[in-house]
């Protein structure tokens, strides 16, 4: 924390915060990344790209307050219970602590990254309902804020256990049922644009997605990128019977809550063209796709 920064990014060593921090840097902005361990490889990579570090922990409010000093805009994201590191209650405490600290520090804009499943009534899944609660809290405070609700990440398609390495890929949607997804690169540049234009976005809630994809779309894009057929089917009934987490998520895809309601043409009008899965597979996702095609057999690892 040795030079003034305009933006404070939480989760800077993670998927979302990393994408936002790098997009802000690409816009030439000064960024401070909140990290637990300044000596981790990811923290060192942030520093190498010109991002300064604030060392702290989301369970330590004083460290959040120190990181806020002199900051104009904040990107807030927390891990959630499926990752196994926090409970739903702890996620809420962390999300509220960032908002309280932003208010106390007088920052001019807070962007809270929620989830596409939030703000649509109780879902019965703690890590979605926690985000609805944080959203309500953020909105209740007298600090200008924007809530972004990302769809499922394209990167999630590459997690172990879904079958890319077997030529038979399974996911939530039916073959002809669309589900919205977002590439982290789009998530990063959209949130960075919002942070850089607070007057335009304060007070707004934005559902964000790059593309609506059916199972058939996945089959087509994966087969093209791999150069051999990769078949698609929804998760089997046997798996959904045995795995209540996946079953509930599948129900939320079917009732529309996780399928996504982002207005993609309107987003493209505001933020420029969104990344399609075909582009992602040959661009930012290329190494993940290649690793998933060649991965050893594994249990499903979705969160």
Ligand X SMILES: NC(=O)c1ccc[n+]([C@@H]2O[C@H](COP(=O)([O-])OP(=O)(O)OC[C@H]3O[C@@H](n4cnc5c(N)ncnc54)[C@H](OP(=O)(O)O)[C@@H]3O)[C@@H](O)[C@H]2O)c1
User: Which is nearer to ligand X, 15 or 224 (by Cβ)?
Assistant: 15
Nearest distance in Å: CB 214, ligand X: 18
Residue 67 to residue 26: CA distance in whole angstroms? 22
Residue nearest to ligand X (CB): 14
Residue 88 to residue 79: CA distance in whole angstroms? 9
Nearest distance in Å: CB 289, ligand X: 16
Report the DSSP beta bridge partners of residue 182. 153
Residue 229 to residue 219: CA distance in whole angstroms? 8
Closest to 207 (Cα-Cα) out of 274, 126, 150, 249? 150
Nearest distance in Å: CB 200, ligand X: 23
User: Which is nearer to ligand X, 59 or 241 (by Cβ)?
Assistant: 59
User: Which is nearer to ligand X, 115 or 191 (by Cβ)?
Assistant: 115
* Strand extents, DSSP E, the chain: 7-9, 31-35, 52-55, 73-76, 109-113, 145-150, 152-153, 168-171, 179-182, 205-208, 211-213, 231-234
Nearest distance in Å: CB 91, ligand X: 7
- C-alpha distances (whole Å) from 257 to each of 38, 118, 211, 281 are 38, 8, 16, 26
Residue 264 to residue 116: CA distance in whole angstroms? 13
User: Which is nearer to ligand X, 137 or 231 (by Cβ)?
Assistant: 137
Nearest distance in Å: CB 184, ligand X: 8
User: Which is nearer to ligand X, 58 or 253 (by Cβ)?
Assistant: 58
Binding residues for ligand X, per CB under 6 A? 11-17, 35-37, 40, 42, 57-59, 77-80, 83, 85, 115, 127, 150, 152-153, 156
């Amino acid at each position: 924390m040795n030079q003034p920064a305009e933006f404070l990014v939480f989760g800077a060593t993670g998927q979302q915060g990393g994408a936002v921090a790098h997009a802000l840097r690409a816009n030439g902005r000064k960024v401070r990344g909140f990290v637990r361990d300044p000596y981790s490889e990811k923290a060192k990579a942030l520093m190498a790209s010109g991002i300064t570090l604030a060392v702290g922990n989301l369970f330590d409010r004083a460290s959040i307050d120190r990181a806020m000093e002199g900051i104009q805009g904040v990107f807030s994201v927390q891990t959630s219970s499926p990752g196994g590191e926090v409970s739903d209650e702890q996620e809420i405490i962390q999300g509220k602590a960032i908002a309280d600290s932003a208010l106390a520090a007088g920052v001019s804009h807070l962007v809270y990254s929620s989830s596409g499943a939030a703000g649509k009534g109780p879902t019965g899944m703690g890590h979605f309902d926690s985000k609805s609660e944080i959203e309500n809290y953020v909105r209740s405070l007298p600090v200008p804020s924007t809530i972004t609700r990302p769809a499922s990440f394209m990167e999630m398609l590459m997690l172990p256990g879904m079958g890319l390495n077997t030529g038979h890929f399974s996911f939530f949607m039916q073959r002809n049922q669309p589900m919205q997804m977002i590439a982290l690169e789009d998530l990063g540049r959209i949130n960075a644009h919002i942070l850089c234009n607070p007057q335009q976005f304060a007070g707004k809630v934005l559902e964000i997605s790059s593309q609506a994809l059916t199972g058939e779309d996945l089959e087509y894009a994966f087969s093209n990128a791999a150069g051999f057929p990769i078949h698609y089917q929804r998760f089997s009934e046997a798996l959904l019977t045995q795995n209540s987490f996946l079953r509930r998520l599948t129900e939320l895809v079917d009732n529309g809550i996780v399928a996504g309601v982002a207005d993609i043409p309107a987003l493209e009008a505001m933020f420029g063209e969104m990344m399609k899965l075909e582009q992602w597979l040959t661009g930012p996702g290329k190494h993940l796709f290649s690793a998933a095609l060649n991965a050893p057999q594994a249990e499903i690892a979705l969160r």
